[in-house]
Amino acid sequence: MIKPHGSDTLNPLYVMDAKERAALAKEAAKLPSLLISSAAAGNAVMLGSGYFNPLKGFMNKADALSTSDKMVTKSGLFFPVPIINVVKDASAIKGAKQIALRDPNVEGNPVLAVQSVEAIEQFSDDDMKFMTEKVFRTLDTEHPGVAAFNSVGKTIVSGPIKVLNFSYFETEFPETFRTAYQIREEMQKLGWNKVVAFQTRNPMHLAHEELCRMAHKAVKADGILIHMLLGKLKKGDIPADVRDAAIRKMAELYFPKNTVLITGYGFDMLYAGPREAVLHALFRQNTGCTHFIVGRDHAGVGSYYGPFDAQTIFHNEVPKGALQIEIFEADHTAWSKKLNKVVMMRDVPDHTKDDFVLLSGTKVRQMLAAGQPLPREFARPEVAEILMKYYQSEAAKGN
């Protein structure tokens, strides 16, 4: 395992001591409070989990603009995106030194964290435009990340935080949600030193499964961390519980025991392509992973990014030595009818499109909703069955 980003040891912001946590929760009930955005709640969970090490809390305006511009804070810490708490109205906390941050994603809006307020500042329209263009590489409001980023307000509340819980992630996904420090502990128990991480917001088809095997073999890893996003997605994406069930079934049946860790993290997808790929690499370093798979159109959406932009950013924009984790660059993988196995397309220049088993997302959804089995060269039958049940239930509801 490798060192966390920016420090020798991981410093999660979750209050570990139960007595201290209970006392802080009691105190928080009397503090002025803010109902934060889902994105800020995800940031708090990630800070509490140690994924955003070495940050101590939410960035101020200067750091948010600096990380958007050059991927470094004003003090020179490498960080690929601004980690901020932005609200529409901060009048309820005017003059307060400490505030309670209330969770928008849990009924009753319980306190998620306590924040020390260092500054309350305003982003101008030009600031928002600047950050949007730098992070998302587009201003198009049809981009789900752009729309979400610009919908939460322009008032930024900065300062360190102490996290009291992990929102709904721990209760809804008890088998899957893991903090960065828990993942480090689990990998240590397994005796893993060299670990390759795979990011997913989708179920894993046969090509994804084989890509993990290819990377595992290529870097001579001890194990694979399958790390799925459990937070908010765009409309049409498969819910986390369905993905979780499908991925677990695949690993249980098709990977040797103790070679795969299936875990998830609490964060809302940004769909920021290259910048999000770098963020993904950074927080996998904080879990202790030594390698991270970056595939074709990693963290992308629509046609906003080139197919390999998320790989070239590591060569062209990430300063040398900024991250310790190594990137395993993957091409699109698919079943070759000629070779009767999954291959990376770049490795078979003699193939044409017709030599691969390729299905569009739309075609897959249509087949599953109609109860048609997916080709075995595309998906494991046990995985397809779980997805089929989901799509048929959605079709019955008229979704």
CA distance 283 to 43: 12
Give the chain's residues under pLDDT 70. Answer: 234, 398-399
Instruction: Please report where in the chains the tokens 């020390």 appear, as a residue.
Output: 116
- How high is the pLDDT of residue 109? 97
CA distance 118 to 123: 16
**Structure token digits, residue 212:** 């993990």
CA distance 56 to 12: 9
* Domain 174-397 top-level CATH class: alpha beta
DSSP H or E segment with residue 216:
helix 206-218
Cβ(118)–Cβ(97) under 8 Å? Answer: no
- How high is the pLDDT of residue 202? 84
- How high is the pLDDT of residue 394? 81
Strand pairing category for 155-163 and 86-87: antiparallel
The structural domains of the chain, with segments of one domain joined by +, span: 18-170, 174-397
Active-site positions read 201-202
Fold match between 18-170 and 174-397?
A: no
Cβ(73)–Cβ(59) under 8 Å? Answer: yes
Q: Is 52 helix (H, G, I), strand (E, B) or coil?
A: coil
DSSP H or E segment with residue 210:
helix 206-218
- How high is the pLDDT of residue 365? 80
**Structure token digits, residue 191:** 């005796």
CATH superfamily of 18-170: Sulfate adenylyltransferase (3.10.400.10)
Q: How many residues does the chain have?
A: 399
Cβ(198)–Cβ(223) under 8 Å? Answer: no
CA–CA–CA angle 75, 2, 70 (5° rounding): 30
Residue 23 — left, alpha, or beta (φ > 0 → left; ψ -120 to 50 → alpha)?
alpha
Per-residue exposure over 2-29, b if at least 16 CB sit within 10 Å of its own CB, e if not: bebbbeeebbbbbbeeeeebeebbeebe
At 227, the amino acid letter reads: H
- How high is the pLDDT of residue 139? 97
- How high is the pLDDT of residue 181? 97
Percentage of the residues of the chain whose pLDDT score is greater than 70: 99
- How high is the pLDDT of residue 399? 61
DSSP string, 244-313: HHHHHHHHHHHS-TTSEEEEEE-------THHHHHHHHHHHHHTT-SEEEE-TTTT--TTSS-TTHHHHH
Cβ(187)–Cβ(138) under 8 Å? Answer: no
pTM exceeds cut of 0.85: yes
**Structure token digits, residue 151:** 């919908």
CA distances (Å), origin 82, targets 76, 184, 259, 322 = 14, 25, 34, 16
As a dihedral over the C-alpha atoms of residue 124, residue 126, residue 130, residue 132, rounded to 10 degrees, the angle is 70
CA distance 185 to 217: 23
CA distance 236 to 230: 15
- How high is the pLDDT of residue 62? 98
Strand pairing category for 223-229 and 260-265: parallel
